[in-house]
Amino acid sequence: MPNKGEVVLEVKDMCKYFGVTVALDHVNFTLKSGEVRGLIGENGSGKSTVSSIAAGMQKASSGEMFYLGKPWAPSTALEAQKEGICMIVQEAGTIPSIPVADNIFLGHEDLFSFGPFVNHPKMVAAAQALLDELGIGIDASVVTGRLDLQQCKLIEIAKAMYWKPKILVVDETTTALSQTGRELLYKLMRRLADEGGSVMFISHDLDEMMTQCDAVTVLRDGHIIGSLNKDEFDGDVMKKMMVGREVKGDYYRSDMDPYGEEVVLKADCITTRRDLLCFDLELHKGEILGIGGLSECGMHTVGKALFGYEKILDGRVTVGPQHTVVKDVETAIKNGMAYTSKDRDHESVGLPGSIRDNIASTGYIKNLLVGPIISFKKEKAYVEKEITDLSLKCASQYHSVNTLSGGNKQKVVFGKWIGGDADILILDCPTRGIDIGVKASMYQLIYKMKKEGRSIVLISEELPELIGMSDRILIMKDGQVTHEAMRADHPTEHDLIEYMI
Amino acid sequence: MQSTLLKVKESRWTSRLLSPIILVLLILVFAIATGGRFSNPRNLKMILEQALVVGTVATGAVFIFATGNVNISMGATTALVTTIAAKAYMATESVPVMFLVALVAGVIIMGLTALLSTWLDVRVLYVTVVMMTLLSSIQMSILGSANIQLPYDMTSGMGDANVPLILFIVFFIIATVLFHFTALGRKLRYIGINDVCAELTGFKRSRYLLIAFLVAGVGVGFGALSTIVRNGTITTDTCSTLNMDCMLAIVLGGMSCFGGSRSNTYSAIVGAVMVTVLNNGLLMLGVSNTILQAVRGVVFIILVCASQTRPQGLPSRDG
């Protein structure tokens, strides 16, 4: 390990272009050993780009890097990993169909080889030893697909830690982790820094950044705006640096507006294959119902079950004044329901499709000309309206969703359902991985929808968000509601956490 | 300069214009290389006639390919339907019966293929691998050792009445309206873009896959009738290259064989002409039939690679 305070990584005059988009514009950056350095910035500011170039995942368009004083140009992530720069990425980085141990040593099977064969028991034993040492309670021999998102993330962390990295890049990992997972990650990060390594930590959660980092560097539109040391940390200053204008400290709703009496959606003692056993829930007209808990508490299953996407073994979900039973997704949608998944890129939006393909998908019936024939003009206007209403940043509605930033992708998802006039929205982690600028507009939008008389189930792992937005909060643990808090009672994070663990 | 080029690349019209331009260039090259033999009206007419069968079946295939599924048994299905319809004609000597049998057989076999895929929860590609051999062997056992020779009066009469052309036009118009002007095509494309997301938007995959196959089944029925009219004789070789021709046509026409956004029926017609031009031109230049198959395979692989848009940098990442 290098000595404390020594420069381990230096980025000089780096540029990166994606086609016509400039992701990095002459960036200069140094990383010292023994520090946890935060990188903050809005979506598309270049923080993931610069760190993934250092970790060998992509190449810079121009510029140089120096690692431990020597020129650094890794050609693959594996090479960077062997040299001591490891990255934990935002999206899933494990292969579901193979055992945990195989994922941990993916690409390094030669460590356990004899001749052309791999000594698999030895590999599993090594993986188990590693997991135990890090305090991750996962069996190394199980198939990865049986684990949830949080456990997969922990495996990725273990995978990176095996190489005793000199630089660990943690990119937006905590959004997938519950409190216990986060604590574990923070501990590992700190341990690494204390041993003389360095951590590049990327997160949208400013509170987390302020408590965990020794210094932060702010990026905006591919430029470095500045750096702050721990004693200079201030939420409002950071936000201003990120967005480039003043952002008010509080962006949740501040009203105490009531909601209706009428029950629009009701879960009546539903049991699912996993997580839920005789679960009840009532959603009222114009209500924002928050559901919180640890990631594995079953709240994500609640969202899917309400929408008819999770098989309900016993009990039923009914919607609307006629108490129509939601037996599948189709019935749910017909009755004005909408669902946005936590796993946005895989379940809520068609990435390779255009913005129009996505938003128009809920409006075919509304945009008819005569009979079953669709009016292209109406459809275009329909999509255009959502783009303007949500101030979605794009060149045109024919643009592929792939090219948009996370926040704008989420806007496409919202636009799709709002355009389809959904009255009951089930939003699972709607602000996951979204920067504060867009987050604020999402909150306004959720509030606006409430005002319009729509009902919202807000499932979230972020307590401040739930407290700030919900009329009523349900806290879940092990598939059961352990606590119910009303907005009028002004619950605090501290009160609620107790019921989660 | 770079930005203009990118704009051109990303434009919706590029892929649609590119194929016809290449087609014209191909025709010019072959015309020059063969010293005008290729471009004489009789040959061009023959190419168009050949393209009709491919065009009809490929138009139906667009519905399936749009959903991101690859079907490799359409050629075998058409061959079997051709045989059944020809048998029906020999037995009844009635043209309407032959039409009816072809349509019903096409729709039933294709529908069954789709149902097998959804019932067994096996990908369309794998189901069609099995179907391809299964249908071929059924066709062989129906044919036995004898070929079916249809009466010349009937086939030439229908040929003179331009039946294949009429069948193609009717089917193409219906297919285009369904695919581009109703919700069906958009839903199929959305399934091709992201099937989980489509399911969560209320488009049941199993149902729309079946509908796509039924439409394609009509195309197969029409294609089989055109084959009967054109060939007159049904052998075990009938339609043996049809499936590859259709897949080639779809990618040559500018559509991705992985379905999604860029799917359109127009690709089928432009692509069908291109495939036949390619086949005919190369044969005329003295390329042997065996080598021709290899050439087509290479062209297909190149196009499939080219039509796959790769994400720049890392997929699904911000910043």
Gap between the Cα atoms of A342 and A353, Å rounded: 20
Cβ distance of B319 and A41 shorter than 8 Å: yes
Q: What is the pLDDT of residues B23-58, one digit of tens each?
A: 999 999 999 999 888 888 999 998 998 899 999 999
Q: Which residues contact B235 (CB under 8 A, 6 or more apart)?
A: B143, B147
Gap between the Cα atoms of A186 and A467, Å rounded: 24
The 10 Å Cβ neighbour count of residue A116 is 5
Is A220 within 8 Å of A210 (Cβ atoms)?
no
Q: What is the pLDDT of residues A204-251, one digit of tens each?
A: 788 888 999 999 999 887 888 888 898 888 888 888 888 776 655 567
Cβ distance of B201 and A52 shorter than 8 Å: no
pLDDT at A384 exceeding the cut of 90: yes
- Please report which residue ranges of A64-216 form alpha helices under DSSP H: 77-83, 100-104, 120-134, 149-162, 179-194, 206-212
For residue B193, the chain A residues in CB contact (below 8 A) are 350-353, 357-358
DSSP state, B309?
P
Cβ distance of B312 and A20 shorter than 8 Å: no
Query: In this structure, what token pair is assigned to residue A122?
Result: 């030895």
Residues forming beta bridges with residue A427, ordered by sequence position: A340, A458
Cβ distance of A365 and B183 shorter than 8 Å: yes
Return phi, psi of residue A65, to 5°.
Answer: -130, 150
- Find the mean pLDDT for residues A244-265: 80
Residues forming beta bridges with residue A476, ordered by sequence position: A293, A481
For residue A360, the chain B residues in CB contact (below 8 A) are 186
Which residue does chain A place closest to B263, by CA atoms?
Answer: A353
Q: Which residues contact A243 (CB under 8 A, 6 or more apart)?
A: A42, A220, A436, A437
- Find the mean pLDDT for residues B162-186: 95
Gap between the Cα atoms of A344 and B78, Å rounded: 41
CA distance B163 to chain A (A): 28
Instruction: Find which of A204, A358, A361 to mutate to test the B interface (most B CBs within 10 Å of its CB).
Output: A361
B249-268 burial string, b = 16+ CB within 10 Å, else e? bbbbbbbbbbbbbbbbbbbb
For residue B309, the chain A residues in CB contact (below 8 A) are 352
Which of B190, B261, B318 faces A43 most closely, judged by CB atoms? B318
Gap between the Cα atoms of A466 and A293, Å rounded: 10
A251-260, B93-102, B157-166, B177-186: range with lowest mean pLDDT: A251-260
Write the burial class of residue B301 (CB in 10 Å: 0-12 exposed, 13-18 middle, 19+ buried).
exposed
For residue B177, the chain A residues in CB contact (below 8 A) are 373
Report the complex ipTM: 0.85
Which residue does chain B place closest to A404, by CA atoms?
Answer: B318
| Between A116 and A296, the higher pLDDT residue | A116
Cβ distance of A329 and B199 shorter than 8 Å: yes
Gap between the Cα atoms of A433 and A351, Å rounded: 16
Confidence bin at B319 (pLDDT 50/70/90)? very low
Instruction: Find which of A348, A357, A382 to mutate to test the B interface (most B CBs within 10 Å of its CB).
Output: A357
Gap between the Cα atoms of A282 and A166, Å rounded: 51
pLDDT at B72 exceeding the cut of 90: yes
Which of B177, B204, B260 faces A352 most closely, judged by CB atoms? B260
pLDDT at B310: 47
pLDDT at A57: 85
Confidence bin at A274 (pLDDT 50/70/90)? confident
Cβ distance of A20 and B3 shorter than 8 Å: yes
Distances (CA, A) of B278 to A256, B248, B254, B283, B319: 71, 11, 16, 8, 45
Gap between the Cα atoms of A13 and A23, Å rounded: 13
| Between A457 and A105, the higher pLDDT residue | A457
Domains of chain B with CATH codes: 15-306 (1.10.3470)
Q: What is the pLDDT of residues A312-361, one digit of tens each?
A: 999 999 999 899 999 999 999 999 999 999 888 889 999 888 999 999 99
Return phi, psi of residue A84, to 5°.
Answer: 110, 15
Average pLDDT across chain B, whole number: 89
Which of B189, B198, B318 faces A405 most closely, judged by CB atoms? B318
pLDDT at B313 exceeding the cut of 50: no
Cβ distance of B318 and A41 shorter than 8 Å: no
DSSP A248-283: -S--S--------S-EEEEEEEEEESSS-SSEEEEE
Cβ distance of B318 and A330 shorter than 8 Å: no
Confidence bin at B317 (pLDDT 50/70/90)? very low
Which of B190, B260, B309 faces A361 most closely, judged by CB atoms? B190
Which of B194, B311, B312 faces A350 most closely, judged by CB atoms? B194
DSSP A46-78: SHHHHHHHHTTSS--SEEEEEETTEE---SSHH
For residue A18, the chain B residues in CB contact (below 8 A) are 312-313
Gap between the Cα atoms of B76 and B127, Å rounded: 13
| E strand or H helix that includes residue A226 | strand A223-229
B199 touches chain A (CB under 8 A): yes
End-to-end CA distance of chain B: 25
Cβ distance of B181 and A350 shorter than 8 Å: no
Residue intervals in chain A for CATH 3.40.50.300: 7-243, 251-336+423-501
Q: What is the CA radius of gyration of chain B?
A: 20
Distances (CA, A) of A327 to A300, A310, A333, A365, A458: 18, 10, 11, 22, 22
For residue B194, the chain A residues in CB contact (below 8 A) are 346, 349-353
Cβ distance of B312 and A330 shorter than 8 Å: no
Which residue does chain A place closest to B11, by CA atoms?
Answer: A398
Residues forming beta bridges with residue A24, ordered by sequence position: A16
CA distance B181 to chain A (A): 5
Which of A43, A52, A354 faces B261 most closely, judged by CB atoms? A354
Cβ distance of B316 and A91 shorter than 8 Å: yes
CA distance A44 to chain B (A): 4
Please name which of B279, B307, B274 lies closest in space to residue B293, comparing C-alpha atoms.
Answer: B279
Which of A78-92, B158-172, B253-267: highest mean pLDDT?
A: B158-172
The 10 Å Cβ neighbour count of residue A432 is 19
| E strand or H helix that includes residue B47 | helix B41-66
- Please count the residue pairs, one from chain A and one from chain B, whose beta carbons lie less than 8 angstroms apart: 127
Residues in chain A: 501
Q: What is the CA radius of gyration of chain A?
A: 24
Quote the percentage of chain A above a pLDDT of 70: 96
CATH code, A7-243: 3.40.50.300
Which of B3, B203, B317 faces A91 most closely, judged by CB atoms? B317
pLDDT at A2: 64
Residue B97, CA atoms < 13 Å, CB-side half-sphere: 10
Which residue does chain A place closest to B4, by CA atoms?
Answer: A20
Please name which of A57, A109, A104, A49 lies closest in space to residue A78, comparing C-alpha atoms.
Answer: A57
DSSP A353-378: SBHHHHHGGG-TTTTBSSTTPBPHHH
pLDDT at A468 exceeding the cut of 80: yes
Cβ distance of B202 and A330 shorter than 8 Å: yes
pLDDT at A249: 52
pLDDT at A392: 83
Residue A169, classed as helix, strand or coil, is strand
Please name which of A196, A163, A177 lies closest in space to residue A87, comparing C-alpha atoms.
Answer: A163
Instruction: Find which of A201, A319, A364 to mutate to test the B interface (most B CBs within 10 Å of its CB).
Output: A364
Quote the percentage of chain B above a pLDDT of 70: 91
Look at the alpha carbons of B302, B317, A390, A243 in this order and tell me if their dihedral is positive or negative.
negative
B3-35 burial string, b = 16+ CB within 10 Å, else e? eeeeeeebeeeebbeebeeebeebbeebbeebe
Which residue does chain B place closest to A307, by CA atoms?
Answer: B200
pLDDT at B252 exceeding the cut of 80: yes
pLDDT at A407 exceeding the cut of 90: no
CA distance B65 to chain A (A): 15
Gap between the Cα atoms of A430 and A412, Å rounded: 12
Cβ distance of A353 and B260 shorter than 8 Å: yes
Is B207 within 8 Å of B114 (Cβ atoms)?
no
Confidence bin at A380 (pLDDT 50/70/90)? very high
Gap between the Cα atoms of A48 and A42, Å rounded: 11
Please name which of B305, B299, B186 lies closest in space to residue B248, comparing C-alpha atoms.
Answer: B299
Distances (CA, A) of B94 to B85, B88, B91: 11, 8, 8
pLDDT at A395 exceeding the cut of 90: no
Query: In this structure, what token pair is assigned to residue A331?
Result: 């019935």
End-to-end CA distance of chain A: 38
Angle B205-231/B41-66 helices, nearest 10 degrees?
A: 160
Residue B80, CA atoms < 13 Å, CB-side half-sphere: 23
Query: In this structure, what token pair is assigned to residue A66?
Result: 């120096």
Please name which of A55, A15, A61 lies closest in space to residue A31, comparing C-alpha atoms.
Answer: A55
Q: In what order do the strands lie in the sheet with A70-71?
A: A21-32, A7-18, A62-67, A70-71
Pairing of strands A288-293, A279-284: unpaired
pLDDT at A234: 86
Is A201 within 8 Å of A189 (Cβ atoms)?
yes
Which residue does chain B place closest to A49, by CA atoms?
Answer: B319
pLDDT at A132 exceeding the cut of 80: yes
Which of A47, A345, A357 faces B190 most closely, judged by CB atoms? A357
- Find the mean pLDDT for residues A437-441: 79
Here the contacts of B95-103 (C-beta below 8 Å, separation 24 or greater) are B95/B154, B95/B158, B98/B225, B98/B228, B99/B225, B102/B221, B102/B222, B102/B224, B102/B225, B102/B228, B103/B218, B103/B221, B103/B222
CATH code, A251-336+423-501: 3.40.50.300
Return phi, psi of residue B196, to 5°.
Answer: -65, -45
Angle A436-451/A406-419 helices, nearest 10 degrees?
A: 10
Cβ distance of B202 and A334 shorter than 8 Å: yes
Angle at A296 between CA A472 and CA A179, to 5 degrees: 80
For residue A354, the chain B residues in CB contact (below 8 A) are 261
- Find the mean pLDDT for residues B240-247: 92
A391-395, B5-9, B206-210: range with lowest mean pLDDT: B5-9
Average pLDDT across chain A, whole number: 87
